[in-house]
Amino acid sequence: MTDSDEFDVLFAELKAAYAAKLPGKFNTLAEAIDLARANPDRKLIKNAANEAHKIKGTAGSHGFTDISKHAEILEDILESMFTELSSKKTIEQTDSRWQEIDTNLAKGKMLAEHVAAQAK
């Protein structure tokens, strides 16, 4: 077995292990988003954006580009809300960005569950 073959086997194992953890990572992100939505202050929105950022980076690094893209969209929306809160008191529950967050979170979770099931 060549070094390249060994690397490919190791990377496949790491990718499968990460895939198995993805649903839990999206659950953590969903919890952070729920907290931010219930009380949209800068700290909670930044925390949710950070959770999305972590998924964006690690999913992309492991080759899960579709999952990474949904996490990037979530991060971008949450970061825009964070910035907006520096000059505004709150983000309304009726803000249309919450719907966009829900949509991308659901798509990301669905993809995460799919890759986790394939990794078994």
Which tokens in the block code for residue 88? 């505004």
Cα separation of 61 and 73, whole Å? Answer: 17
**DSSP sequence for the chain:** --HHHHHHHHHHHHHHHHHHHHHHHHHHHHHHHHHHHHS--HHHHHHHHHHHHHHHHHHHHTT-HHHHHHHHHHHHHHHHHHHHTTTSS---TT-HHHHHHHHHHHHHHHHHHHHHHHH-
Query: 3-119 belongs to which homologous superfamily?
Result: HPT domain (1.20.120.160)
Residue 79 has pLDDT above 90, yes or no: yes
Exposure string for 109-120, b = 16+ CB within 10 A, e = fewer = bebbeebbeebe
pLDDT in tens, 13-71: 999 999 999 999 999 999 999 999 999 899 999 999 999 999 999 999 999 999 999 99
The domains of the chain are located at: 3-119
Residue 3 has pLDDT above 80, yes or no: no
Give me the phi and psi of 47, to 5 degrees please.
-60, -45
